Structures are given as C-alpha cells and as structure tokens.
C-alpha cells in the first residue's frame, strides 16, 4: 500500500524489547495540510501536548515520528524536552523544519524515553525511507495488538485516483474520547488529495466522532490517543472544500477508512473473542442513547456473558437501567441478531434464548435494545471480557 508522495520506514530501536520494530517515520516530500484529534483525557502525554502546541504554530507539516513501548506520559518537562529533541534531530535528518513534525508515542506510562536508543533508531529510519514503508510503520506502532490494522480507499476523480490510507494501533486502554486539538489508540491518515484545511479538520472530527469515539474494549480512555491526518496534495485535484460531489465522496471514504480501523481495533481487542455491535434505539435524547450504549458496552457482566455466549439479557437490561437513560421497563425490547429475546420488558421464552445463544457463537453479532422512549439512536462496537484479557493486563505493564 502506497500513497504517492509519502515515504516511510520502521526500525527496531530497542525502546522496550529487542528485535521488534518499534520506531516508525512517515515523511512527505511536499508540505502537508494537517488535521488532528487528540484524547480528551485530562492527563495528556508529552507528545500529545507537543502536537497541540505545534498545531497552534504551524500551518503545514512534513512528518510523523512514532514509537511503541513507551508512552512518554507523566514525564513532565523532561518528556516535553524529549519531544523537542526528537523533532530537532528529525528536522536535520529530513531537511525540514522542526515545527513541521508530529511526535507520537504509545506504551508504558511514566518512564522517560531512552533517548540515545531513540535518536540512533531515528537516524537509521531516516536512512531507509521508502515508498513501500507504510506497512512496516503499521507494525512498529503495535503494543498488545496481535496484528497490524490498515485500510485504504481510492476515489476516482476525473480519470485519476485520490488515495486515502489509514493505519491504527490499539487493543487495550480503548475507550477513545477524542476531540479537536485538544486513545492509546493511534491512527494516521494519509491522503494525496488537495484539501482545504478547515474542511479536512471538520471531516476528520466528524469521522472520528462516528468511528473511534464509538468503540470500546475496556472503556479506559488513554493519555496518548491521537488521530493525525496529512494531506500532501500530490493528486492535484480541485481543492476539496466541503462543496460539491467530490467533498461528499471524500468525507464518506474518510469515514469508511476510520470505521474499518475502528472495527479492526475491537476485533483485536485484548483477549477479545467477540466483536459486538450494540445499538440502542428509541431513547428520549441522543445523550441518553449514548449513555445507555456506553454503559451496556462497558458492563463487566454483559461483556463476560458475551464471552460465555450466554444470551443473558437481564444483565443488558440492568445495565440500561443504571445508565441514566429514561425509559419504562415494561416497554423495552431486546434482539440478539434477528432473534427477539425480550418483549415488553420480559423474556420471550426459552426457545428464543436458545436461538440467540446460537447467534452468539458467531465471532461477530449484533444486539439491539429498543427503549421505546423517543427517537434517538446510538450504535457502538464492543469486545467481550475474557480470562485472557485479565491475564494480559495482570502481567503486562501497559
């Protein structure tokens, strides 16, 4: 997978473990228009703070430097200075300005970056940039993930092709809540489109709100979640600014890329054996629909029932009842797949539950909760809670 004008490379810098890719760089020959969204966690890692500061200062960007194994979070002034050192060195190596470089990190909170190893790795990476390097970067950013996550959409425009490529990482501490510049989920979106910055930013925010902000593995919003988009203009299309058909097609392709990455994250959630779409329908307000979906998606009892392939709708209904959404319990309907298991707040019967149990044997299934209290819907993706999740997190220090 390539996006014309972008070069990339990844190396094993030995940041945490020896012999695995852990430092990546994405570089654009041309100046790029940026768009970004960062964690709303009050505790923000140094690279997040550094990137927010840069966005207030620079209009164009050239590169993203990213490492796994160390989040550079809760590292105070030294953490920020390390970001600056990385940008300064990368700027020398890449012959660009230090304010045009995003730094991103994921891994253990509270440890300083091993700067000597980091800067050595950075130099090696800059020396092996390639048009085919993006997939290697998508490997270098992984932590407890078991596989790389990438997505590509191509848009035909007047006989030529505009490309939208995304990569992401994330398996645990996944409960993204990203806002405009202000997970440890990291996602990078690269396009060769010519875009208007304001439209690019708004499109990215909208797409993030409908994708990454609607997934959860453990509900734990990270200090490092970052989505960074770079548009290098290589495709020389008429500027995409929110007007006309191309803008619609572009926004929709952007959403598809982020949605695909979101699904890949949940499917690869720590210890996950299931990927469940939870849809709350007929809430009184959108906020209540969201609260209800989030509470169900993060309930340990619901998630362990998913793991057990048990159509235990009582746990779903109990979670809805404590969510803050208003409804009448005897008006609720619940469906698992196409099987109605609850009507008027009560069990449809044993046979229906047996059918639902079959549906839950699938790797992916859908749960719909009809509150019948209004017109607002909300949809989220969640994983199950398995013994393996606990094992991973009781022994692995993220």
**CA 47/CA 33 separation, integer angstroms:** 19
Q: Which of 348, 344, 299, 304 is nearest to 320 (CA)?
A: 299
Q: Is 44 in the site for a copy of itself (CB under 8 A)?
A: yes
The verdict on 266 binding a copy of itself (CB under 8 A) reads no
Structure tokens at 34: 């940026």
Angle made by CA atoms 27, 32, 38, in degrees to the nearest 5: 85
Question: Given candidates 63, 109, 142, 367, which one binds a copy of itself under the rule CB under 8 A?
Answer: 109
Tokens of 158: 């007047």
> Least distance from C-beta 353 to a copy of itself, angstroms?
9
Q: Name the nearest CA neighbour of 269 among 214, 210, 218.
A: 218
Site for a copy of itself in 184-223 (CB under 8 A): 218-223
CA angle 92, 74, 59 (to 5 degrees): 40
Q: Does 358 bind a copy of itself (CB under 8 A)?
A: no
Structure tokens belonging to residue 380: 């989220």
Binding-site residue total for a copy of itself (CB under 8 A)?
Answer: 63
Contact call for residue 35 and a copy of itself (CB under 8 A): no
Q: Is 76 in the site for a copy of itself (CB under 8 A)?
A: yes
Residue 252 CB, nearest approach to a copy of itself (Å): 30
Instruction: Give, as ranges, the residues between 285 and 304 that touch a copy of itself (CB under 8 A).
Output: 299-301, 304
Q: Which is nearer to a copy of itself, 229 or 311 (CB)?
A: 311
Min CB(53)–a copy of itself separation in Å = 15
- With binding defined as CB under 8 A, does residue 361 bind a copy of itself? no
Task: Tell me phi and psi for residue 368, to 5 degrees.
Answer: -120, 135
Q: Check: CB of residue 381 under 8 Å from CB of residue 277.
A: yes
Tell me how far, at minimum, the Cβ of 17 lies from a copy of itself, in Å. Answer: 18
- Is the Cβ–Cβ distance between 97 and 76 less than 8 Å? no
110 forms part of the interface with a copy of itself (CB under 8 A): yes
Residue 146 falls in the annotated catalytic set = no
Catalytic residue among 75, 106, 143, 184: 184
- The residues facing 228 across adjacent strands are 36, 188
**Where does residue 262 fall: left (phi above 0), alpha (psi -120 to 50 degrees), or beta otherwise?**
alpha
Q: What is the chain's alpha carbon radius of gyration, rounded to the nearest angstrom?
A: 22
Judged by CB under 8 A, the stretch of 61-69, 74-82, 85-93, 193-201 that binds a copy of itself is: 74-82
Q: How far apart are CA 316 and CA 301, in angstroms?
A: 8
Residue count of the chain? 398
CB of 44 vs a copy of itself, minimal distance in Å: 7
CB of 75 to a copy of itself, least distance (A): 7
Q: Select from 12-20, 37-45, 92-100, 248-256 the region that touches a copy of itself (CB under 8 A).
A: 37-45
Q: Which of 247, 230, 251, 229 is nearest to 238 (CA)?
A: 247
- Select the residue interacting with a copy of itself from 15, 111, 178, 265 (CB under 8 A): 111
Catalytic residues: 184
Q: Which residues bind a copy of itself (CB under 8 A)?
A: 40-44, 71, 73-76, 108-111, 172-173, 175, 177, 218-223, 299-301, 304-305, 307-308, 310, 312-315, 317-322, 325-327, 329-330, 342, 344-347, 385-387, 389-391, 393-395, 397-398
């Amino acid at each position: 997978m390539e996006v014309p004008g972008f070069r990339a490379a990844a190396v094993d810098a030995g940041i945490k473990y020896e012999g695995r890719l852990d430092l990546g760089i994405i570089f654009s020959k041309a100046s790029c228009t940026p768009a970004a969204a960062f964690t709303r966690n009050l505790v923000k890692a140094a690279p997040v703070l550094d990137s927010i500061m840069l966005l207030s200062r620079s209009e164009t960007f050239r590169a993203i430097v990213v490492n796994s194994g160390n989040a550079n979070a809760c590292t105070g002034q030294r953490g920020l200075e390390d970001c600056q050192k990385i940008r300064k060195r990368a700027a020398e190596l890449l012959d660009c300005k230090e304010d045009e470089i995003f730094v991103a990190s994921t891994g253990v909170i509270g440890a300083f970056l091993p700067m000597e190893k980091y800067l050595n790795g950075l130099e090696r990476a800059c020396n092996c940039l390639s048009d085919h390097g993006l997939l290697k970067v998508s490997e270098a950013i992984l932590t407890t993930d078991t596989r790389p996550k990438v997505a590509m959409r191509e848009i035909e425009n007047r006989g030529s092709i505009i490309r939208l490529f995304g990569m992401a990482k994330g398996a645990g501490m996944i409960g993204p809540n990203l806002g405009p510049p202000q997970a440890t989920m990291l996602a990078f979106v690269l396009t060769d489109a010519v875009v208007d910055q304001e439209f690019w930013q708004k499109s990215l925010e909208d797409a993030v709100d409908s994708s990454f902000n609607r997934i959860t593995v453990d509900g734990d919003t990270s200090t490092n979640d970052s989505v960074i988009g770079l548009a290098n203009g290589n495709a020389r299309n008429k500027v995409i600014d929110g007007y006309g058909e191309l803008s619609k097609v572009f926004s929709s392709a952007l959403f598809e890329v982020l949605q695909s990455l979101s699904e890949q994250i949940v499917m690869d959630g720590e210890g996950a054996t299931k990927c469940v779409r939870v849809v709350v329908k007929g809430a009184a307000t959108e906020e209540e629909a969201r609260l209800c979906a989030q509470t169900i998606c993060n309930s340990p009892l619901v998630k362990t029932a998913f793991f057990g392939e048990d159509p235990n709708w009582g746990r779903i209904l109990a979670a809805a009842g404590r969510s803050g959404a208003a409804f009448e319990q005897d008006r609720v309907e619940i469906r698992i797949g196409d099987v109605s298991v609850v009507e008027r707040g009560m069990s449809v019967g044993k046979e229906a539950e047996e059918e639902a149990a079959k549906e839950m044997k699938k790797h992916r299934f859908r749960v719909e909760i009809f509150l019948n209290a209004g017109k607002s819907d909300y949809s989220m993706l969640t994983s199950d809670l398995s013994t393996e999740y606990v094992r991973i997190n009781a022994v692995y220090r993220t």
